[in-house]
Chain A
Amino acid sequence: MRAFPHELSGGLRQRVMIAMAVAGTPSLVIADEPTTALDVTVQSQVLGLVRRLRDEIGCAFIVVTHDLGVAAQVVDRVAVLYAGRLAEIGPADEVLRHGAHPYGVALMRSRLSLRSDRHTRLLALPGEVPSPGRPEPGCAFAPRCELAASDCLVTPPAPEPVAEGHLSACVRDLAAVRQWAGAPLPAVETVPGPESDGPVAPEASHPAVRVVNAVRTYSTGGGLGRRRSLQALRGVSLTVAQGEAVAVVGESGSGKSTLLRLIAGLEPVDSGSVELGSAAGAQMVFQDSGAAMTPWLTVGELVGERLRTAKVPRREREERVLAALRRVGLPPEAAKARGGQLSGGQRQRVGLARATIVPPEVLLCDEPTSALDVSLAASVINQIGALRRELDMAVVFVTHDLSVARIVADRIAVMYLGRIVEIGTADEITHEPRHPYTKALVGAVPDLGVELPEVIGEPASPLDPPPGCAFHPRCPMATGTCSDPEFDPRLARLPGARSSPGQPLSGQPLSGQHFVACINVRED
């Protein structure tokens, strides 16, 4: 009660906002993207709170969100809007499972969940949301709709009932939409990874990245001249094989972005080492692709900049720039545009073109899809996968979204407070998580028909990590040993997993197998 807003974490602030909103017992509360900036564990807490309040106070909620999983958690009815018009409205379960409007169906299809097929290309809508400045006659979705016909272009369709309480604004009849929705998606080649190729010992092939026991500490001004140290990384080891994709997941403050910046060479390590496999080096795709573009330079100048560094003759540069843009699906005219004239998805593609015009050894992606709509995110993820296969790059992909990590990566590393607490293949982590923290993360991913368990507590502050296992204050399995300051949980190969003799129990995961840093798991 005596705290100022800046002293609270994001989740607590959001709870304060909700408390303010319901303080006068209103009949309606409007929640505009209430959980977008929050970690999944905190998100599940906030969603649980919204649900409880609705039941206790009995007020109506309008929740605005781009995340269909969040919608499925808290609402009774879902309205799908497109270009300022209602596309579809109906009971949540029906709209989300059996959409009647092609746009609603497409949205659900491009959505990622822990059950998405990893070997299928994600469905991404072609084209872009129409500009609100020039509304076209007819159905606004028609230019992107596979079912569109000439009658779609005449007048905007009015919402018509398709079922009890379910309206859809589409002139195609329901059966046609349902049939289209049921059609299988085109499959892509399977992603080569440890699963399909069997265990690859990274020392045998040259590892693309080898991080050994990296430590990074920032010192922050703590007010009144007190200096405090923020332990962003507390001894992280990670080896990425050539051509392998590793996702790093964790809540904010887990040090995952710091790890990426160390690999990129944007920051020095305090102790430990970071080695790259070859001179091709690391390139990064930034989270805020707009801010990563110099506003007054054209896309062509920005993308071509690395050619200058690589001493490519001037004559070849323009051609290579256009080729790089074509590879990420941008038209040649994009080279003349500046960052401000592009949409979010286009900017992210420019970021990809810039990072891959001279193929790097490893492509580092810092939450490249977190600011994008589902459909755009899907197309960017497809693009990263295609580039990786075409250029044989290793990929390190930082995300807070496990369902994205699962699609993108061969292996997933889970970080908590500057340590990797669990690492294994994508399916092992998402389907057989062993560390209590990973279990909490996996359980907190909102999805259709999934009851979210509430994870207790907030992520601890990296300014003052708890002694022993840093997760023990929030851990349901914690014992006395876990909080012992002498106790230092290290990654250990999971008993029962394939293990090659001679490997030490602690330290490097060498062959894409499952390693966990938790004593309770080891003693199972």
Chain B
Amino acid sequence: MSTTLDPDAAPLIPARSLNLARFGRRRRDWGRAGAWTGVGVLVLVTLVALTASRLAPYDPILPVTQPLAAPLTEGHLLGTDSIGRDILSRVLVGITYSWFGALAVIASGLLIGGTIGVVAGAAGGWVDNVLMRITDLFLAMPAPVLAITVVAALGPGLRNTLFAVAIVWWPFYARIVRGEIRTLRARPHIEAARLAGTGRLRIALRHLLPGAVPAAVVAASLDVGGLVLTLAGLSFLGLGAPAPAPELGADTARNLSYLLQQWWIPVMPAIAVMILSLAGNVGGDGMRTLLDKR
């Protein structure tokens, strides 16, 4: 060996590692900014859905001009459909149905699933077993088949479809909440609360439930996008509101035959579904970044 290793020549700490720390910090800042953007998108979509009937330039149900007008003609931004209804108006009102439909299903899921999850997780033992087997039973039901059954029994309509989806949706939340509660229950702070003589109900509501909320909210917000797709899919199959109602899935399905000539009639509502679903996912990711500390 001709070269000698001089111990003083090599720097003790490679300079690169110092920059890494700064890079990490910057990425985290971006992550938070992105998360807030995602939540902002959620809020924006909700605002649009709330004010859709006022934002819509025309009545979504009635024909307002000649049919089959292309997008960007005579004040019809997205064109008109086969009988001359303004597509923009129909899409906006359709967004209201889809968005609030999804939110309603999630809210009911959180309510039912959360309650069952808290009771099962906090009680343990046979109560837990019975409740979780019931949950498994509902989880095993195929959503579209159940929806068709419910609609067949109760008649078509948006409310019945939502009802059917809500029936199969809550078990996810019951499982998440129960899992969180079980983990929390083994923690020392529950033992401390028990020793303080705190009642079971108060332990469940004050010492256990708040700890399960972030996980449930994160799971729920990530579900919004998927739920919008599910509801649009059911409505595409004809399980939504009946004919004149502006519904994104149904509008796409009914006008599928125009796809090759007047593509905008089926494609515009489909794009709206895509945007909603995307907004749900981006917003859900944002919520996860902000709420999930793990």
Q: Write the residues of chain A forming the contact surface with B, with a CB cutoff of 8 angstroms.
A: 264-266, 282-284, 286, 288, 291-297, 301, 305-306, 308-310, 351, 354
Contact = CB atoms under 8 A, between A and B. Distances in A.
Nearest to A287: B188
A293 B196 CA distance: 12
Given A291-B187, A301-B206, 5 more contacts: A283-B196, A286-B191, A294-B207, A296-B210, A308-B202
Contacts of B198: 305, 308-309
A295 B196 contact: no
B192 A284 contact: yes
A301 B193 CA distance: 11
Contacts of A265: 195
B187 to A, nearest CB: 6
A88 to B, nearest CB: 25
Interface residues of B, number: 17
Residue with the greatest number of chain B CB neighbours at <10 A, chosen from A264, A292, A309: A292
B197 interface: yes
A320 to B, nearest CB: 14
A359 to B, nearest CB: 14
Contact of B196 (A288, A291, A296, A309): A309
A286 B196 CA distance: 12
A305 B196 contact: yes
A294 B189 CA distance: 5
B211 A293 contact: no
B194 interface: yes
5 contacts: A266-B194, A282-B195, A291-B188, A294-B193, A297-B207
B197 A295 contact: no
Contacts of A292: 188-189, 191-192
Residue with the greatest number of chain A CB neighbours at <10 A, chosen from B188, B195, B206: B195
Instruction: Give the top 9 A-B pairs by smallest Cβ distance, nearest first.
Output: A309-B197, A292-B192, A291-B188, A294-B189, A296-B210, A292-B188, A306-B196, A294-B207, A305-B196
A472 B199 CA distance: 47
A297 B197 contact: no
A286 B197 contact: no
A308 B188 CA distance: 20
B193 A283 contact: no
Interface string B88-132: 000000000000000000000000000000000000000000000
Interface in B34-67: none
Interface string B193-227: 11111110010001100110000000000000000
Contacts of A305: 193, 196-198
Contacts of A293: 189, 192
Contacts, number: 51
B215 to A, nearest CB: 13
A235 to B, nearest CB: 25
Contact of A354 (B187, B192, B199, B211): B192
A389 B196 CA distance: 22
Interface string B142-168: 000000000000000000000000000
- Tell me if B's interface is mostly helix, strand, loop or mixed: helix
A308 B206 CA distance: 13
Given A286-B188, A288-B188, A295 B211 contact: yes
A296 B206 CA distance: 9
B189 A291 contact: yes
A420 B6 CA distance: 62
B202 to A, nearest CB: 8
A294 B191 CA distance: 10
A295 B195 contact: no
Residue with the greatest number of chain B CB neighbours at <10 A, chosen from A288, A296, A297, A309: A296
Nearest to B208: A294
Contact of A296 (B187, B193, B211): B211
B192 A286 contact: yes
A306 B189 CA distance: 14
B196 A266 contact: no
A292 B207 CA distance: 11
B189 A264 contact: no
Contacts of B192: 284, 286, 292-294, 351, 354
Nearest to B198: A305
Contacts of B188: 286, 288, 291-292
Residue with the greatest number of chain A CB neighbours at <10 A, chosen from B193, B196, B211: B196
Given A286-B188, A288-B188, A294 B206 contact: yes
A430 B210 CA distance: 48
Contacts of B189: 291-295
A265 B211 CA distance: 26
Contacts of A282: 195
Contacts of B187: 291
A265 B194 CA distance: 10
B203 to A, nearest CB: 9
A308 B195 CA distance: 13
A266 B193 CA distance: 11
A351 B189 CA distance: 11
A291 B211 CA distance: 13
A72 to B, nearest CB: 31
A265 B196 CA distance: 11
A216 B137 CA distance: 40
Residue with the greatest number of chain B CB neighbours at <10 A, chosen from A294, A295, A309, A310: A294
A301 B198 CA distance: 12
Contacts of B191: 266, 286, 292
Contacts of B206: 294, 297, 301
Contacts of B202: 308
Contacts of A308: 198, 202
Nearest to A261: B191
A264 B191 CA distance: 10
A303 to B, nearest CB: 9
A291 B195 CA distance: 14
Contacts of B193: 294, 305
B53 to A, nearest CB: 40
B207 A283 contact: no
Contacts of A310: 197
Contacts of A351: 192
Contact of B197 (A284, A291, A294, A306): A306
A219 to B, nearest CB: 17
Nearest to A266: B191
A448 to B, nearest CB: 35
A293 B187 CA distance: 10
